[in-house]
Structure 1
Amino acid sequence: MERQIVVTFVSNYINHHQLPFCLAMNDMENVEFHFVQTSPMEQKRLEMGWGVDTKDYPFVTLFYEEEEKARELILDSDVTILGWSDGVIADIEKTRLSSGKLTFRVSERIYREGQWKFISPKGLMRKYQEHIKYRKKPVYLLCAGAYVASDFELINSYPGKKYKWGYFPQRQAESSFTKSEIIGPLDTINICWAGRLIDLKHPEFAIEAARRLRDKNYSFHMDIIGDGDKREELSGLIDRYALGGLVSLRGAMKPVEVVSYMEKADVFLFTSNYLEGWGAVVNEAMQSGCAVVASFEAGAVPFLIMDEINGLTYNSGSFERFFDKVLYLFENRDKIREFGNRAKDTICSRWNAESGAREFVRFAREYLDGKEPQPSPEGPMSIAPILTPPGFFRTLQEKNRLE
């Protein structure tokens, strides 16, 4: 019988993105799981519906209320996962990382705005203290995004110890709404876009695509969900293009409400640029059976979507390339259900909280049992490839212009 191991996950706060993995870990046999929350959630996140009542989950310890217990969990657990804590527990982290005990860091990109920034002497000194000095310790990197490994490779950290990771959506209950298997030539195609209405997410791409689809006499309806600085601009575009009957700005919604729109959508548009660290709406749309058209620049996409197999991707941030992919689905409607079904299978069979927990615990046990831990063949805990970010050359050009 396997011995019980104690695993503690530390992060700023527990939210709907992290909760499914935590619940899956808590259900693992012979695992005592804890989550240490280092800070209260910000009011704006609470208003977005991100709040989790920690009293409902006995495995959660609040660092700011039970500091001594939290400290012991972080330092003494068999396995500790260090997520985002905004420096609140920096000294405790250093002690754990230096201890020789099995530790994982979860990270999004550290050079999201341009890899040229890694040459900064001040930045390199900080990265040395946070990451490089532990390169020979049993500290592994969980890469929450496809370009994370590339960033850390630049600073020579976590050699041979970078693994695919990400966010895992809540398993959706069976919906009473069933998508038809066949979309006929006269059927209306439902399109969904969801996210903050800000520059890096390019919501204007969705509206411009709607204008062109309308001009080609395609039957569709588009729901744009979210709020942000670009809302007034987008509303103006809808009016200017006379798209009022075809495009609806739905405003901000709670995560469960967003998913209800995804479940009714045939196509989901994800237009974020290279500044998007992950993009959990991609997981959710895929699990909802949508055919996703997604920017290859965003962190989740290279891990989750194989172009023309379980979705469509475009590379350069170009609207024209994006629209070519959208148009392909309208011209080849049989692909909408084909891609949607494969997308759902990708999430349900591989990129989900249960799979992530299972592979994580397997990997950790192999190490604790004195074996060389083996990567998973695919999905979470598989080797993270070194992928050059698509935005690299553009940000380098921007740097040169500034100089």
Structure 2
Amino acid sequence: MTLTVFANFLNHHQVQVMDQLYNLLGNDFHFVVTLLSDQEYMKGGGDYSNRPYCLCALKDKSTYTEALRLSIESEACVFGADSCEFAIARAKQNPMGISFEMGERWLKRGWINVMSPNFLRWWLNYIRYFRKANFYRLCCSAFASTDMQKLHTYEDRCYKWGYFTYVDESFDIETSMEDIPTSEVIAFMWCGRYLGWKHPELPVKMAARLKAEGYKFMLDMYGHGSVFDMTKRLAKQLNVEDVVSFKGNLPNEQILKAMRKHKVFLFTSDQNEGWGAVANESMSNGCVLIGSDAIGSIPYLLVDGTNGLVFESCNLDSLCEKVKYLLDNPKELHRLSRNGITTMRSIWSPKNAAKNLIYLINQINSQDFSIMLQGPCSKA
């Protein structure tokens, strides 16, 4: 099987699963980078375009020509961000070749999104080129398939996908969570860019309420952004500076180490969080994830009360209820953490995602539409 993936950059959210596809397919796998490197656009992640399977389409004329050839001749193609011209070329010249559009949801802000130039461009391309071709959708958000239904696109052709971060299978969760005493001060963690839609104010307000009710805990908040100073002022106003610490920006490898030192990760974004790779990372590193139900990854990754906890987006009462459950039942930390890391290792790992994608392509090839029941490439 020849498989080519097209996207703007090869970053830390994708490189793990692409490495696995290369391990499975060897030289029959390619990743085409469609834009020149842009560190800010990659959100601080590394540039992995030196991988042996990686081709930079804009490097020179010959690499662009090769990228165009791969888009037409590969047995299967996946088209991510900024790859529309290659998808159109495939739809025109090889309409029956197996193709996937890969992306997050379109209607993050509701129907107002249909007024954006990017949406209108995509919609016209779908109607003109992709609708009648052999195109499917890899949904990097639990809400993407619903958006597709509302837009009458990719109906019955949507499959679960996402971002896939490194899963360290040598990490011993049993030792790290062993015998948590009821008197221990539980360490909570929040990490992200300080933006309004990530709602860093929610953990601070939560801390004020829990402190007033006599709970023992610590909250460490990592990152920086436009509402950082506002959040620090809020912590001072609410008199929680003794239990809330602001740790600033740290490299990703240090963030991962910090996750292993915390028992619980709070993920408080609203519907503007398309996926949120910190969900994968926190679960893989043993944190009990408490996530907002509006985040794109949460309905895929979490079963409330089984491998983490889900709270109602932007609802402080709901967040406090979930946190207090853990503080009142510290032995639950071990069960939820163990189940969370098992989910990441056995279902949402890069290795399993790569294997499932190849399986799905083979199913489509053979017109066998029996589906996987869960995880990547199951029906969305």
Same fold (TM over 0.5): yes
Identity of aligned residues (%): 28
Root-mean-square deviation (CA, aligned residues, Å) is 2.1
* Correspondence 1:54-133 to 2 at 5 A: 54-55=49-50, 57-65=51-59, 66-85=63-82, 89-98=83-92, 99=94, 100-115=96-111, 117-118=113-114, 126-133=121-128
Alignment equivalent of 1:169, drawn from 148, 161, 165: 165
Distance 1:215 1:346 in 2: 35
Task: Tell me which residue corresponds to 1:288.
Answer: 285
1:39 to 32, 35, 52: 35
Residues 123 and 38 (structure 1), Cα distance of their counterparts in 2 relative to 1, 3 Å cut: closer
Matched, 1:8 2:15: no
| Alignment partner, residue 387 of structure 1 | none
SS of 1:360's partner is helix
| Deviation, structure 1 residue 259 | 1.1
Deviation >6 Å, runs of 4+ = 121-124
Equivalents in 2 of 1:126, 1:287: separation in Å?
A: 37
Aligned to 2:358: 361
What is the CA–CA distance in structure 2 between the aligned matches of 1:186 and 1:121, rounded to whole Å? 53
Q: Which moved more, 1:217-226 or 1:175-184?
A: 175-184
Structure 2 letter corresponding to 1:248: S
Unpaired stretches in structure 1, ≥5 consecutive residues: 385-403
Q: Kindly tell me: are residues 14 and 59 of structure 1, through their superposed partners in 2, closer, same or farther at Cα, counting changes over 3 Å?
A: same
Change in 2 beyond 3 A, CA 1:176/1:381: closer
> Gapped runs of 5+ residues in structure 2?
none
Instruction: Answer yes or no: is 1:346 the counterpart of 2:343.
Output: yes
Distance in 1 (CA, whole Å) between partners of 2:213 and 2:46 is 43
Check conservation: 1:9, 1:81, Cα contact below 8 A.
yes
Question: What is the CA–CA distance in structure 1 between the aligned matches of 2:296 and 2:257, rounded to whole Å?
Answer: 24
Letter in 1 for 2:67: A
Q: Give the Å deviation of 1:31.
A: 6.7
Shift, 1:29, TM fit: 4.7
Q: Does 1:236 align with 2:248?
A: no
Q: How many Å separate the matches in 1 of 2:116 and 2:239?
A: 53
Counterparts of 2:312 and 2:353 in 1: how far apart (Å)?
28
CA distance in 1, matches of 2:368, 2:169: 38
**Contact in 2 for aligned 1:287/1:347 (Cα 8 Å):** yes
Please give the alpha-carbon distance, in whole angstroms, between the structure 2 residues aligned to 1:376 and 1:160: 14
Whole-angstrom distance in 2 between the partners of 1:23 and 1:316: 34
Partner of 2:45: 50
How far is the alpha carbon of 1:374 from its aligned partner?
3.2
Question: In 2, Cα distance between the equivalents of 1:122 and 1:106?
Answer: 19
Partner of 1:255: 252
Letter in 2 for 1:167: Y
Cα distance, 1:378–1:175 mapped onto 2, change above 3 Å: closer
| TM-aligned CA deviation for residue 311 of structure 1 | 1.0
Please state how far the C-alpha of 1:176 moved relative to its aligned partner.
8.2
Work out which of the residue numbers 22, 25, 43 in structure 2 matches 1:26: 22
> 1:69: Cα distance to partner?
1.6
1:160-199 aligned within 5 A:
160-172=156-168, 174-175=170-171, 178-199=175-196
Question: CA offset at residue 339 of structure 1?
Answer: 0.9
Equivalent pair of 2:10/2:48 in contact (CA under 8 Å): no
SS in 1 for 2:24: coil
Deviation of residue 292 (structure 1)?
Answer: 1.2
Distance 1:39 1:383 in 2: 31
139-148 or 213-222, larger mean C-alpha shift: 213-222
1:14 CA drift (Å): 0.5
Deviation (angstroms), 1:253:
2.0
State how far apart, in whole Å, the 1-side matches of 2:25 and 2:8 are.
26
Give the C-alpha shift of residue 347 in structure 1. 0.7
- More displaced, 123-132 or 281-290? 123-132
Displacement of 1:170 in angstroms is 0.9
Structure 1 353/210 Cα, relative in aligned 2: closer, same or farther at 3 Å? same
Once residues 116 and 376 of structure 2 are traced to their aligned partners in structure 1, the CA distance between those partners, rounded to angstroms, is 33
Instruction: Report which stretch shifted further, 164-173 or 235-244.
Output: 235-244
CA distance in 2, matches of 1:284, 1:196: 16
Residue identity matched to 1:91: E
Structure 1 residue 121: Cα displacement: 11
Alpha-carbon deviation of 1:305? Answer: 0.6
